[in-house]
Amino acid sequence: MAEPAILIVEDHVKMADSISKGLEENGFTTEVAYDGFIGKRLSDAKDYELIILDINLPQINGYELCAHIRKKNASVPIIMLTAMGSTEDKLLGFDQGADDYIVKPFEFRELLARIKALLKRVQPDPKSLRVLRVADLEIDLDSKTVKRGNISIDLTAKEFLLLEFLVQNKGKVVSKADIAEKIWNITFDTGTNVIEVYVNFLRKKIDKNFPVKLIHTHIGMGYILKAGDDANQN
């Protein structure tokens, strides 16, 4: 099935579309229902990641719809979004099972923040897989492990930092000055050649035994991490 989406039930077309657009720009998938009846049909038909509900809706009002959704799906987060700002209204909303209640007018950024706060509760961080890849090189920032293909590679702390920096800038040439600052906290005026030495260490470990080299030198400029050999770069 398609990725989970956010359902927006709102009869003001402009408002609905602007929320939808804003959310999509922030990486969410959305579906819009312009009245309560369609909202009900959609929410019955599939499971949403989150539902945004206006209260003054044609056909079925937001409170009823909220109660209906809750009866069938205890876990989907629901945000009520309405012009009615009295405490009584809010309490009614929470009573029907809403998780949050936002009064119009509001700033989109606040809605977004509240959506994120709520989603954080429901899907406790999908294991924050912090894994970076370049070609068949894979570096895991959590376990601090590195693999090329399916061969594990042991790196020391400095080597790992350097590789991480290169991977984060894959496809870009990074100067020795940048590296010196980032990894060694020095200003690269000192007559040291640690960087060359460590690039050499890295090459021995991640490139030497593999046909495709990943670390490339641009003389006078710095180093770049990418697949493809020096012949066909640019």
Partner DNA sequence: CATCATTTTAAAAGAAATCTCAGCTTGATT
Partner DNA sequence: AATCAAGCTGAGATTTCTTTTAAAATGATG
Task: Give the shortest CB-146-to-DNA separation in angstroms.
Answer: 13
Q: Which does 47 bind (CB under 5 to 8 A by kind): DNA, its own copies, none?
A: none
Q: Is residue 129 a contact point for DNA (CB under 7 A)?
A: no
Q: What is the DSSP string of the chain?
A: -PPP-EEEE-S-HHHHHHHHHHHHHTT--EEEESSHHHHHHHHHHS--SEEEE-SS-SSS-HHHHHHHHHHH-SSS-EEEEES---HHHHHHHHHTT-SEEEESS--HHHHHHHHHHHHHHHS-TTTT--EEEETTEEEETTTTEEEETTEEE---HHHHHHHHHHHHTTTSEE-HHHHIIIII---S-S---HHHHHHHHHIIIIITTSSS--EEEETTTEEEE-SS-GGG--
Q: Which does 199 bind (CB under 5 to 8 A by kind): its own copies, DNA, none?
A: DNA
Task: Give the shortest CB-73-to-its own copies separation in angstroms.
Answer: 13
Task: Give the shortest CB-225-to-DNA separation in angstroms.
Answer: 13
Q: Contact, 10 vs 34, CB < 8 A?
A: yes
Query: Whose Cβ is closer to DNA: residue 76's or residue 199's?
Result: 199
Query: Whose Cβ is closer to DNA: residue 1's or residue 129's?
Result: 1
Look up residue 140 and give its two tokens.
């895991």
Q: Which residues bind its own copies (CB under 8 A)?
A: 74-75, 77, 87, 90-91, 94-95, 98-100, 107, 109-110, 113-114, 116-118, 120-122, 124, 140, 142-145, 147, 152, 154, 156-158, 160, 171-173, 218-221, 224, 226, 230, 232-234
Q: Is residue 217 a contact point for DNA (CB under 7 A)?
A: yes
Query: Whose Cβ is closer to DNA: residue 112's or residue 186's?
Result: 186
| Contacts of residue 219, Cβ cutoff 8 Å, sequence gap at least 6 | none
- Contacts with DNA in 140-199 (CB under 7 A)? 154, 156-159, 176, 184, 190-194, 196-199
Query: Whose Cβ is closer to its own copies: residue 41's or residue 181's?
Result: 181
Query: Whose Cβ is closer to its own copies: residue 179's or residue 224's?
Result: 224
Residues near DNA (CB under 7 A): 154, 156-159, 176, 184, 190-194, 196-201, 203-204, 217-222
